[in-house]
Amino acid sequence: MKPVYLLFRAAKVFSLLFFIGVLLYIYFFLPDQVGVHFNEWGHADNYLPKSQFFYGAGMFIILFNVAVSLLGRFLTALPPNMLPVPHRDHWSATAENRNAFSYLLRNWLNGFMTIINVILVAALLVLLQVNTEAKSDIEDYAWVFLTAIGLMVAWVVYLPLRLLKRPPAVAG
């Protein structure tokens, strides 16, 4: 296995473990009723019991990671003529090109899951702050969500741009 793949895979695993660790950490500090929806003034107006929030967040992150992993396995197992990508002929022309596509897709999906896991860790920490500090307002953390959106857009746009890049001409 190539080092870049191992790096992306390790980042995915560590980010998932980090999420679980942060979830366990904040469980002890959250109030019994966790504010999960905020009105236009930045104040909580919908609450969940702490245990329901804890188990729901844990199940969501695990199911999300499993679903994206299964999607990656499904896409890399598709027959070459069914690849839903630009320059399909290039990516399916040889076993080497097919492996390059699988490698690119697996790395992208591992990076995607890492980013989502880290964003959700940030969301957990923000939720802890707004639920435990009397003066804390959700609007104080708007930059976290804007940064997360920017990061996600950049990552999502990267794959199509990379696949649109004109493959080198085959000499022959």
Per-domain boundaries in the chain: 3-164
Q: Which of 59, 61, 84, 86 is nearest to 74 (CA)?
A: 84
Can you give the pLDDT at residue 49?
Answer: 95
Can you give the pLDDT at residue 149?
Answer: 92
Can you give the pLDDT at residue 172?
Answer: 42
Q: Which of 75, 78, 81, 103 is nearest to 162 (CA)?
A: 103
Can you give the pLDDT at residue 83?
Answer: 75
**Residue 35 bridge partners (DSSP):** 47
In single-letter form, the type of residue at position 95 comes to: A
- Identify the segments of the chain with pLDDT beneath 50: 171-172
Burial class (CB in 10 A: 0-12, 13-18, 19+), 124: buried
Q: What is the pTM assigned to this prediction?
A: 0.84
Can you give the pLDDT at residue 21?
Answer: 96
Q: Which of 30, 56, 169, 40 is nearest to 120 (CA)?
A: 56
Burial class (CB in 10 A: 0-12, 13-18, 19+), 103: middle
Can you give the pLDDT at residue 57?
Answer: 94
Query: In 3-state terms, the chain is what percent helix, strand and coil (to 5)?
Result: 75, 5, 20
